[in-house]
Amino acid sequence: MRDYPSNQRMLLFSGSAHPEFTDRIAQHLNIKVGEVTRQKFKNGEIYIRFEESVRGADVFVVQPCGDPVNDNFMELLIMVDALKRASASMINCVIPHYPYARQDKKSEGREPIAAKLVADLLTVAGMDRMISVDLHTATIQGFFNVPVDHITAIPIIANYFKEKHIKNGVVVSPDVGGVKRASIFANQLHMPLAILDKIRPGPNMAKIDHLVGDVSGKDAIIFDDMIDTGGTICEAVRTLLDFKARKVYIGATHPIFSGDAINKLECSDTEEIVVADTLPIAKNFSCSKIKVVSITGLLAKTIKKIYHCNSVSELFKGENLV
């Protein structure tokens, strides 16, 4: 039996980006995913129709914006517009992986701040609240004039590493920008922190200059918010081994895995790569080193708390997740 208020409906819908992910959330909530008809015109335009009434309902739409990013994001905007025009009471977008998050500031002249543009588009479309997981930078929350619930998968990934009982470990941030994230992860594991100093000559390019901290003879865990092409991570693994790390593990929230990233990771000298299921991974991928942990239970708790108007602050800190 559901324990949701009888005077208010909660509806859960999925975009086409990762329907299995939404199904797992629905199982935790003990509800069914709503029916949506979606088609594409010959020229690529997207058509959406919800097959049940949403009038007055508290609606949650789940859509990770991975590859193809633009198609998935446009589909989400169209779904939000359809819900607004169908008189949904609240439109909550669950976007585990936020698109264009790396374009959150101007590094040089004549550059866009695409992460702010995404926020504006979602708000104008009619979104009332966003739920996301491990944003590239927490300041993206400030781009919105609607509530943003920023959940973290760090404790879930940390719990996986706790079960390995690593005795002499160190957590490594792959760049200066990720220090706060890696520091939280290190505190979860009660390990010291090391930092790799990285510069980016261009998009999807990275060069590691030097290491701050001690990894010699230790089991190092590189922690980041995402793995895209795998180039940065693989170079970080080589650098740590050059500095005499005993073993190197990798932890990350978002498995983007663009291009031949999976092959790069399989061929690297890392022991294991632990990622969350915020994005779909090719079903036929063959990499024995990749371990996927699920955050669907965490998102289901978040959705339930929001629906009941309860505090979600403990989930921001990663408390009471297991």
Q: Which of 162, 167, 198, 283 is catalytic?
A: 198
Two structure tokens written together for 280: 């779909």
Which amino acid is present at 226? Answer: M
Tokens 């169209």 sit at which residue? 78
Gap between the Cα atoms of 235 and 99, Å rounded: 25
Tell which residue, 120, 58, 46, has the closest CA to residue 83.
Answer: 58
CB-CB contact of 150 with 135 (8 Å): yes
Among this protein's residues, is 167 annotated catalytic?
Answer: no
CB-CB contact of 50 with 82 (8 Å): yes
Two structure tokens written together for 95: 């976007």
Question: Residue 181 CA to chain centroid, in angstroms?
Answer: 13
Gap between the Cα atoms of 93 and 121, Å rounded: 13
Gap between the Cα atoms of 307 and 30, Å rounded: 14
CB-CB contact of 208 with 198 (8 Å): yes
3-state secondary structure of 126: coil
Gap between the Cα atoms of 219 and 48, Å rounded: 49
Of all helices (H) and strands (E), which one includes residue 154?
helix 154-162
Gap between the Cα atoms of 134 and 151, Å rounded: 6
3-state secondary structure of 294: coil
Q: What are phi and psi of 149, to 5 degrees?
A: -100, 110
CB-CB contact of 215 with 169 (8 Å): no
Q: 274 has which bridge partners?
A: 251, 291
Residues assigned a catalytic role: 198
